[in-house]
C-alpha cells in the first residue's frame, strides 16, 4: 500500500486528482492519475473505479486548504451544459491539443451541490486551485462539469476567466432524450429534484403528461440555471449548430479559451476519429449524421407530445423571466 502524498507533491502538478470531497467529514479523496488516464476516462466520478484499479488516498481537507501555494493558479477554463448536448465530445476534442488537460465530470464538484452556499464557499477557492493544475508549466486545464453542477456555475467560475455554456434548442433536446433508452430512464428519477430547482427560480410547469414533458422540464431546469449564472466572459453555443461547422467552432473556441493551436491541428482534430465515436463510450460508433437521423426519427414518433411540451414551456415563460430568456436565446439561434 503506497503512502499518502505530501502537500507539496499534490500541488506540484495534476498527478493527484481531487476526485471527491466530503464537507461533513472534512475529507478529500485523491486519485493518482497520468495524462493518459485523464485522456481515456469519460468521467471522473465513481464510474472511474469500475474498470481499473486506482491508487487512492483520503486526506484531511484542512491540510489541503491550508497548504494552497500563494501563487496557485485558478485559471481553469470551464464547460457547463444542459446534458446530452455533446459536452463530452467538445472536452475530448480540446483535450487532444498539446498542453491541454481535459478533466471531465469530477465528482468533487457534484459533491458540493448538496451543501448550502456558505459551506460551498469554504471549499470552492481550494477546488478552483486544484482543478487548475496541469502537467506542463505552460499548459491549461479544461473542466467539464456534470450538467446539474450548472446550479453552482456562478460560484465556480473565476471572474474574468472564460467558460463555455453548451445547450440545444428545446425541440432538439427533447427529441434527443426520447431517442435514447438510457436518457429516458433518468427522467422520472430526477423529476422531483428538477421541479424543486425550477420552483426556486420562479418557474412553475404543469404536471407532466408524457416523457416529452419530463424532458422539457429537464431542459428548462438546466437552462435557467445557466441563465442565472451568465457572466461577462461566457460563450454560449448551440451544439447542433456547432456540428454544422465543427472545424470553425473549434477555432473560435480555442481562441476564446486562449489555447495555442494552429488551424491545421484544429482541422485535423475536427475531422479525426473522435467525431465518429460515441464520446461517453468510444468503443461505439456515433456521428453527427447519426445524431440528426435519431433526432428526426424521435420527432416523427413523438410529434404530438413534443409540440405539447413546447407549448407548456412557452406558457410557463409568461410568468418566468429566466425561462423566457432561455427560450428567446434558443429561438434566436434556431
Contact 179, 306 (CB under 8 A): no
- Helix/strand/coil for 286: coil
Banded model confidence at residue 321, pLDDT cuts 50, 70, 90: very high
63 falls within a domain: no
> Rounded to whole angstroms, what are the CA distances from 193 to 87, 116, 200?
22, 16, 11
Instruction: Write down the pLDDT at residue 120.
Output: 97
206 falls within a domain: yes
CATH number where 240 lies: 3.40.50
Contact 181, 312 (CB under 8 A): no
Instruction: Compute the 3-state secondary structure of the chain and give helix, strand, coil in percent, each to the nearest 5.
Output: 55, 15, 30
Whole domain around residue 96: which residue ranges?
74-333
26 falls within a domain: no
Instruction: Write down the pLDDT at residue 299.
Output: 95
2 falls within a domain: no
Mind listing the pLDDT tens digit for each residue in 13-41?
999 999 999 999 999 999 999 999 999 98
288 falls within a domain: yes
21 falls within a domain: no
pLDDT, mean of residues 295-316: 97
Instruction: Write down the pLDDT at residue 333.
Output: 63
Banded model confidence at residue 276, pLDDT cuts 50, 70, 90: confident
Quote the pTM value: 0.95
Residues contacting residue 263 through CB under 8 Å, at least 6 positions apart? 251
What angle do the packed helices 303-316 and 211-229 form, to 10 degrees?
A: 40
The domain tally of the chain equals 1
Mind listing the pLDDT tens digit for each residue in 130-169?
999 999 989 999 999 999 999 999 999 998 899 999 999 9
Contact 141, 259 (CB under 8 A): no
269 falls within a domain: yes
Among the listed residues 239, 78, 275, 59, the one whose alpha carbon sits nearest the alpha carbon of residue 157: 78
Q: Return d(Cα 311, Cα 169) in angstroms, integer.
A: 14
Looking up cell 429561438 gives: 331
Mind listing the pLDDT tens digit for each residue in 186-242?
888 889 999 999 999 999 999 999 999 999 999 999 999 999 997 789 999 999 999
176 falls within a domain: yes
Q: What's the full length of the chain, in residues? A: 334
Amino acid at each position: 500500500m503506497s503512502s499518502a502524498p505530501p502537500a507539496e507533491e499534490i500541488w506540484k502538478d495534476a498527478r493527484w486528482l481531487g476526485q471527491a470531497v466530503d464537507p461533513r467529514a472534512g475529507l478529500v479523496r485523491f486519485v493518482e492519475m497520468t495524462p493518459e488516464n485523464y485522456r481515456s476516462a469519460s468521467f471522473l466520478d465513481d464510474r472511474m473505479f469500475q474498470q481499473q484499479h486506482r491508487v487512492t488516498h483520503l486526506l484531511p481537507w484542512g491540510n489541503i486548504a491550508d497548504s494552497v501555494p500563494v501563487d496557485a493558479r485558478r485559471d481553469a477554463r470551464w464547460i457547463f451544459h444542459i446534458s446530452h448536448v455533446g459536452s463530452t465530445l467538445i472536452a475530448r476534442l480540446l483535450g487532444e491539443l498539446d498542453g491541454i488537460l481535459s478533466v471531465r465530470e469530477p465528482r468533487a464538484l457534484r459533491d458540493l451541490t448538496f451543501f448550502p452556499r456558505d459551506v460551498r464557499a469554504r471549499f470552492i477557492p481550494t477546488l478552483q486551485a486544484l482543478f487548475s493544475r496541469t502537467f506542463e508549466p505552460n499548459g491549461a486545464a479544461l473542466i467539464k462539469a456534470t450538467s446539474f453542477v450548472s446550479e453552482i456555475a456562478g460560484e465556480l467560475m473565476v471572474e474574468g476567466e472564460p467558460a463555455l455554456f453548451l445547450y440545444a434548442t428545446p425541440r432538439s433536446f427533447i427529441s434527443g432524450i426520447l431517442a435514447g433508452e438510457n436518457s429516458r430512464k433518468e427522467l422520472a428519477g430526477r423529476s422531483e429534484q428538477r421541479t424543486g430547482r425550477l420552483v426556486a427560480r420562479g418557474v412553475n410547469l404543469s404536471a407532466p403528461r408524457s416523457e416529452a414533458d419530463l424532458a422539457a422540464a429537464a431542459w428548462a431546469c438546466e437552462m435557467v440555471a445557466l441563465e442565472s449564472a451568465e457572466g461577462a466572459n461566457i460563450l454560449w453555443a448551440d451544439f447542433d449548430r456547432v456540428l454544422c461547422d465543427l472545424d470553425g467552432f473549434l477555432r473560435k473556441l480555442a481562441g476564446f479559451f486562449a489555447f495555442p493551436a494552429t488551424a491545421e491541428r484544429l482541422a485535423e482534430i475536427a475531422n479525426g476519429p473522435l467525431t465518429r465515436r460515441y464520446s461517453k463510450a468510444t468503443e461505439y460508433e456515433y456521428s453527427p449524421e447519426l445524431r440528426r437521423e435519431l433526432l428526426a426519427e424521435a420527432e416523427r414518433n413523438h410529434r404530438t407530445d413534443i409540440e405539447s411540451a413546447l407549448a407548456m414551456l412557452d406558457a410557463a415563460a409568461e410568468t418566468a423571466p429566466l425561462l423566457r430568456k432561455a427560450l428567446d436565446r434558443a429561438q434566436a439561434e434556431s
